[in-house]
A and B are shown apart, each in its own frame.
Chain A
Amino acid sequence: MDEGLRYIAAAIAVGLGALGTGWAQSRIGSAGAGAIAEKPELQGIMLIFLALPETLVILGFVVAAIILLVR
């Protein structure tokens, strides 16, 4: 039972992080595409903005790894 709960917890940690990242990137990506169409020189900074939410899923991954691997 405990083992199963650990797996579910790890999946939630990564899954919710991935959902959050995807949702944030979709919003940033569409806004960024519009901004770059107006000002192509913004592409560098938009790449940064687009990459920022990835930290969410990485942190989720770290939590999942700790749940699964640290006993």
Chain B
Amino acid sequence: MLVEMRRVDLVAPRRRALALLRALHRAGVLHLVPFAPPPGTSEAVFGAYPALPGAGPFDARLERVAELSGILGAGSPPTALVAELWELDDAGLAARVERLEPARSRAAALAAERVRLEGELARLDGYRRLVEGLQGVVARLPALRGYGSTAIVVQARYRAVIGVLREELEELTGGRCELIAAELGGERVAAVLLYPQRLADQVRTVLGGRDLEEVSLPAELAGLPFTELEPRLAGEEERVRDRIAAVGSQLVELGLAHGREVGALELVLRDRVAETGALRQTGASEHLVVVCGWVPGARVETLRAALVREVGPETLVVERPPDRAAAADAPVAFENRSVLRPFEPLASFVSLPRYGSLDPTPFLAVTFPVFVGLMVGDIGYGLILLALLAWARRRWPRSSLLSQVLPIALLAAGSTIAFGFLFGELFGEAGAALLGLRPFWFDRREAAISFLGLAIAIGAVQVVLGLVLGMVNAVLLRDRHQLAGRAAMLTGLLALLVLLGWIAGPLPATVGYLAVAGLAVALAVLLVTLGLAGPIELLGAVGNILSYARLMAIGFASVMLAVVANELGGLTGNVLVGAVVAVLLHALNLVLGFFDASIQGLRLHYVEFFTKFVEPGGIRFEPFASALVAGAGQLRPRSTGGR
């Protein structure tokens, strides 16, 4: 169900504005909205809270702590430490930040050194590759007194420039030069130019105009004989690597010493900055401050008591009377029983339902596992899924994603096993052949028409249910236009189904005539409410029902693939090879079956079912909640306050 929300104005003395926001932040139940003057008040009296000059008192401190947190990779801090820091006053919190300043300076220096060293390592690596590439070239250069040399590197696709350079160099030096090129790993070409030392400046000018990468060694390596360069470079690389490791271990030590506190401080400072920022959304008169927002109905009294206790008895929580226009802006929060809760993200994946409308979660929670079970429908596959889920639970006991998926997957596995019994399938027909398993309902391989009929009947029931729920939603949202449209759609659809029954034979003629009359009325109403699109939507609804044939199509494909796996396994003539083939094909079928069945099951809900009644466009409930309140957006079930 969707939580009932109340629009409230929270009023306190202006001097207590920050205390009010702090109390709200701690409570974590108010969805803040920008200030709008309460009805009956003049804007001359109440206006937006004046903007604070410059940045807030904790902005710069947060920046510094966040930088330190980024360097140290601070993880989740202990809750008790967060709570302890959260209670500090501004001066106390600032002092804790200042106490970390030496650690921050050291960490920043170490991080800068690590960046510099990594750059140096990359540079040395580049030199080493270059020296390796030029090794053969240099060996061919004549050793001449009074001659200088320059090494250049060009991208392989610009190698033509080396020929041009050779011509220009020969012209410049009167032929007293040498240029030898060598490939560097296929992507680059290196060249060494040898020329009279006195022409060095002119050569540089020739090179300068071409945006070439001129290679110059670090000062400490310049002048070394080429043969000594490679070992020296390797030694330098080793030294830099050692230093990087030393810097890394110093940072780890710093992290161990300060990481938890830094993480906690970052959270608490973010909260303080958010509180200052929230001031901009409040309203103020000369003496009062007003904070506007939405609170879950069941939490209003708790909030009122908390504000009186923390801010002072003069704090008022004024509830605005229910207003249809204002309800359009009300945020939406789910409040379901624990068994339904994992389905909430799926139900709101495409769009959040509007406030005041029906929550689609319970419907999805009932029919989604049934659809998956109907499509996969095999005891063996269901048991394997259960085993995989048990293994995953032990392997990743703290995974939040797994915790969310597990209940859905368990229900799907249970449903798959149940339908497996109904269809008499255990790894396809292997259960029947080996264990004498017989279907309790029907054999999917033989009764294709019954299976197709069942799938389409499920579609008819769900689409009709969707239209009925759509009418309920129209009543809840007091939308007569939608109510008329959906009622006409429902009447038209039922009339079409009855007409089909009449044409097929089993229904009497009187019923058929009534259906024709009902269809005519429905079409007329649809034309009035939805225009020309109305009759087309009616046909669309028929298409929606037929779309449920995929339940049969995918189920049929799944069982036939299982049969193929068994047959192919048996054809090999070798027990071991046959078992491997069968296991591989069954594994493929298992993965494909559950994946496809989940996607198709969801699609049937989103496209065929939800479009009939879910009113999209809801605003997610995002309470102004501090680090003390984890998962504030997920409300837990209470005895009151739901709709």
Contacts and interface: CB of A to CB of B under 8 A. Distances in A.
B549 A51 contact: no
B448 A54 contact: no
A48 B258 CA distance: 48
B448 A65 contact: yes
B448 A51 contact: no
A55 B547 contact: yes
Interface string A27-54: 0000000000000000011011001101
Indicate the size class of the contact surface on chain A: 10 to 19
A43 B546 CA distance: 26
Contacts of A67: none
Interface in B530-555: 543, 546-547, 549-550, 553
A5 interface: no
A48 B603 CA distance: 7
B606 A48 contact: yes
Indicate the size class of the contact surface on chain B: 10 to 19
Contacts of A59: 543, 546-547, 549
Contacts of B449: 65, 69-70
B619 to A, nearest CB: 13
A44 B605 CA distance: 13
A62 B546 contact: yes
A54 B350 contact: no
B350 A58 contact: no
A62 B456 CA distance: 10
A48 B370 CA distance: 21
Contacts of B350: 44-45, 47-48
A62 B603 CA distance: 18
Nearest to B611: A48
Given A48-B350, A51-B599, A58-B550, 17 more contacts: A45-B350, A47-B349, A47-B603, A51-B606, A51-B607, A54-B550, A54-B603, A55-B543, A58-B549, A58-B553, A59-B543, A59-B547, A59-B549, A61-B549, A61-B553, A62-B546, A69-B452
Interface of A: 44-45, 47-48, 51-52, 54-55, 58-59, 61-62, 65, 69-70
29 contacts: A44-B349, A45-B350, A45-B351, A47-B349, A47-B350, A47-B603, A47-B606, A48-B350, A51-B603, A51-B606, A51-B607, A54-B547, A55-B543, A58-B546, A58-B547, A58-B549, A59-B547, A59-B549, A61-B550, A61-B553, A62-B452, A62-B546, A62-B549, A65-B448, A65-B452, A65-B549, A69-B448, A69-B449, A69-B452
